[in-house]
Amino acid sequence: MTQLNAANTPAAGAHPDTPAAAQVTVTGLTVDGPAGVVVKPFDFSIAPGETLALIGESGSGKTLSAKAIAGLLPAGFTARGTIELASATIELPATDAVWRATRGRRISLLLQDPFTSLSPVHRCGTQIAMTIQAASATRLSKAECTELVTQRLAEVNLPAEVARAYPHELSGGMRQRVAIAAALATDPELLIADEPTTALDASNQGEILDLLRGLQEKRGMAALLISHDLGMVRGRAEHVLVMRHGEIVERGVTSSVLNAPSHPYTRALIEADPSLTDRSAGVVRAASGAGAGGDAATGVGDLVVATDVTKSFGDKTVLHGVSVTVGRGETVGIVGESGSGKTTIARCIAGLEHESSGVIAFHGVALAPGRASRTPKQMQIVFQDPYSSLNPMISVGRSLKLALRVAGRPASDLNGLLQLVELPLEFARKRPAELSGGQRQRVAIARALAVQPELLICDESVSALDVSVQKQILDLLAKLRVELGLSILFISHDLAVVRQLADRVYVLRHGDVVESGLCHDVLTAPTHPYTQALVAASIHEAPTH
């Protein structure tokens, strides 16, 4: 194979062993797609040891820009521009031979999802060792490799035993540490991190970002941090670029951009950012307080009372006696990380899982476990992923008419239903594929509301959406609860999102309710150490006002 030899061309051999001490400069970076320019030309430079954040929502072109710099654009896309590194200058589009000498040694790319970015059938140590070997000029012995792998693991605060583990044996945070060790094993001059913490739980996110920051400062390595999350960038990047529709709309020093944004889009992003401050939450809660939300406070009656619900899958117990109450017209949040049991309790209430023990009562009448004992009018559920919860083969109108028929309502109610979720009437003819994520989630909500349920269960219903869309959907839910007097059970891993909508909140951890109470009290003065840690983790990422 010629590729192996080509990697040792003189250009590659010139790579210095010491960390680079010059800045990374990219000029005129442009990405062309099959239908014309996707990313318009832009320049940036990053000083050694510093971080530049590239912020944008999905579809803004930020990931394509990252892939262009790493030479990993998908077929059909080409890049133009110049990348100047300490050891080489790369003119885009570059040949395969140039990229072989560049990728890993000079520029490395860390991907979003540690669950898929490591090969599941290779041991973690092997995957790190491969990278070390690929960048080494000489053939390393087994003992040398083991030694180097242990060093790399120690750098990311992992014990040497992790080398023997397969990725599925590690937690998400540990996997991302292994991926960081693998990405940095070649000592690149520039690390591109594409949403490196989006797939992780809140308490892991801060740790991973701070680890990256430390490693980067130690090596004098430049970093390009790609993110959709403005809050995450504060305190972790010197400069920030805001990209929208393939164009840089704002750039500058991070703190000045966040505190005094000049472009309306940046302002909108900051407004939409679900922070723990009262500023954005106030809008929604003011609306809800005027209507049905008021009833809940006066205690008209409980709609759903789940008492001591336990659930085991095989010999694994995921719920250890969880009690949750949703009052009439009340919005209740359940917060927890993945594996906390928050989705399981919601599914038990909806009858999609059979609880092992405990009582779930609706209007004071106990319901037998399972779907059969429940009617559609009692409760409906809106799932996380609007891309998979709608049938792609039938039009929006037909989906909704089917739901109306179940409720025994005439098909002519369709227009009213679309208006309710603020969708144009002509959307009835469209198929899910023609809709954006936010529009699809509106359709999913409309479908759930077609039967006029008393309780709406939202299982991570906004987590798959961009922040600005998230805010629109949350506003819609707030409006609906006022207009229809809905009770909402809102499941989320995201404290800030729950804060915007919920009257009361339960914090779930390992199948136990560790804390519950009025949303405002729990999130501003948490008493349980776990809640305190969660709140601290999300405040750290949120912009302060």
Partner 1 sequence: MLVVRVLGTLGILLVLSIIVFSMLHLAPGDIVKNLLGNRPSSPEAVAAIRAQYNLDQPLYMQYLIWLGNALTGDFGQSIRLQDSVSNVIGARLGITAALSGLAFVLALVVAIPLGVQSAVRSGSWIDRFATGVGIVGLSAPTFAVGLLLLYVFAFYLPIFPVYGSGDGGLDTLWHLVLPAITLALGLGAIILKLTRTAMLRELDSDYVTFGRARGLPDRQVHMIALRNAAIPIVTGASLVLTFLVGGTVLAETTFALPGLGTLLQGSVLFKDIAVVQALTLLVAVTIATIALLADLAYIFLDPRIRAKEGAQ
Residue 208, helix vs strand vs coil:
helix
Near partner 1 by CB under 8 A: residue from 116, 255, 338, 415: 116
Asked if 497 and 542 count as a contact pair (C-beta separation under 8 A), the reply is: no
- Residue 291's alpha-carbon distances to 281, 333, 395, in angstroms, are 16, 18, 34
Please report how close the Cβ of residue 193 comes to partner 1 at its closest, in angstroms: 11
Q: Of the two residues 72 and 407, which places its CB atom closer to partner 1 in the complex?
A: 72
Residue 102: Cβ within 10 Å count: 26
Cα first-last separation, the chain: 58
Near partner 1 by CB under 8 A: residue from 60, 65, 117, 384: 117
The answer to whether residue 216 forms part of the interface with partner 1 (CB under 8 A) is no
Site string (38-77) toward partner 1, x via CB under 8 A: --------------------------------x-x-----
Please report how close the Cβ of residue 105 comes to partner 1 at its closest, in angstroms: 6
Asked if 530 and 514 count as a contact pair (C-beta separation under 8 A), the reply is: yes
Q: Of the two residues 176 and 275, which places its CB atom closer to partner 1 in the complex?
A: 176
Span near partner 1 by CB under 8 A; candidates 54-62, 180-188, 232-240, 381-389: 180-188
> What is the C-alpha separation between 105 and 83, in angstroms, rounded?
14
Report 405-444 residues binding partner 1 (CB under 8 A). none
Please report how close the Cβ of residue 167 comes to partner 1 at its closest, in angstroms: 9
Report 91-110 residues binding partner 1 (CB under 8 A). 100, 102-105, 108-110
305, β-bridge pairs: 325, 361
Please report how close the Cβ of residue 510 comes to partner 1 at its closest, in angstroms: 20
Residues 6+ apart with CB under 8 A from 469: 57, 436, 437, 438, 441, 462
The answer to whether residue 178 forms part of the interface with partner 1 (CB under 8 A) is no
Near partner 1 by CB under 8 A: residue from 169, 210, 426, 434: 169
Report 342-371 residues binding partner 1 (CB under 8 A). none
The answer to whether residue 176 forms part of the interface with partner 1 (CB under 8 A) is no
The answer to whether residue 113 forms part of the interface with partner 1 (CB under 8 A) is yes
Q: Of the two residues 106 and 471, which places its CB atom closer to partner 1 in the complex?
A: 106
The answer to whether residue 143 forms part of the interface with partner 1 (CB under 8 A) is no
Structure tokens at 320: 């250890």
Q: Of the two residues 149 and 346, which places its CB atom closer to partner 1 in the complex?
A: 149
Q: Of the two residues 174 and 414, which places its CB atom closer to partner 1 in the complex?
A: 174
Task: Tokens 């919920």: give the residue.
Answer: 502
> How does DSSP classify residue 293?
H
> What is the C-alpha separation between 439 and 452, in angstroms, rounded?
20
Residue 290, helix vs strand vs coil:
helix
Q: Do you find a cis peptide bond into 93, omega within 30 degrees of 0?
A: yes
Taking the CA atoms of residue 436, residue 442, residue 445 and residue 451 in that order, the dihedral angle to the nearest 10 degrees is: -120
> What is the C-alpha separation between 527 and 515, in angstroms, rounded?
8
- Give the interface size with partner 1 as a residue count (CB under 8 A): 35
Report 121-140 residues binding partner 1 (CB under 8 A). 121-122, 130-131, 134-135
Span near partner 1 by CB under 8 A; candidates 25-33, 177-185, 251-259, 397-405: 177-185
**Residue 99: CA count within 13 A, CB half-sphere:** 14
The answer to whether residue 472 forms part of the interface with partner 1 (CB under 8 A) is no
Span near partner 1 by CB under 8 A; candidates 79-87, 116-124, 331-339, 355-363: 116-124
Please report how close the Cβ of residue 130 comes to partner 1 at its closest, in angstroms: 6
Residues listed for the chain: 545
Q: Of the two residues 109 and 497, which places its CB atom closer to partner 1 in the complex?
A: 109
The answer to whether residue 9 forms part of the interface with partner 1 (CB under 8 A) is no
Q: Of the two residues 44 and 166, which places its CB atom closer to partner 1 in the complex?
A: 166
The answer to whether residue 304 forms part of the interface with partner 1 (CB under 8 A) is no
> What is the C-alpha separation between 67 and 512, in angstroms, rounded?
42
Residue 184: Cβ within 10 Å count: 22
Structure tokens at 276: 């723990």
Near partner 1 by CB under 8 A: residue from 179, 221, 423, 456: 179
Report, in angstroms and rounded to the nearest whole number, the Rg of the chain calculated over CA atoms.
26
The answer to whether residue 185 forms part of the interface with partner 1 (CB under 8 A) is yes
Please report how close the Cβ of residue 175 comes to partner 1 at its closest, in angstroms: 11
The answer to whether residue 498 forms part of the interface with partner 1 (CB under 8 A) is no
- Residue 273's alpha-carbon distances to 289, 474, 500, 538, in angstroms, are 22, 12, 11, 12
Near partner 1 by CB under 8 A: residue from 182, 230, 243, 522: 182
Residues 6+ apart with CB under 8 A from 205: 197, 232, 537, 541
Residue 42: Cβ within 10 Å count: 20
Please report how close the Cβ of residue 58 comes to partner 1 at its closest, in angstroms: 16
Please report how close the Cβ of residue 131 comes to partner 1 at its closest, in angstroms: 5
Q: Of the two residues 72 and 484, which places its CB atom closer to partner 1 in the complex?
A: 72
Please report how close the Cβ of residue 3 comes to partner 1 at its closest, in angstroms: 5
Structure tokens at 321: 């006696």
Residue 286, helix vs strand vs coil:
helix
Asked if 96 and 124 count as a contact pair (C-beta separation under 8 A), the reply is: no
Q: Which residues are near partner 1 by CB under 8 A? A: 1, 3-4, 7, 70, 72, 100, 102-105, 108-111, 113, 116-122, 130-131, 134-135, 166, 168-169, 179, 182-183, 185-186
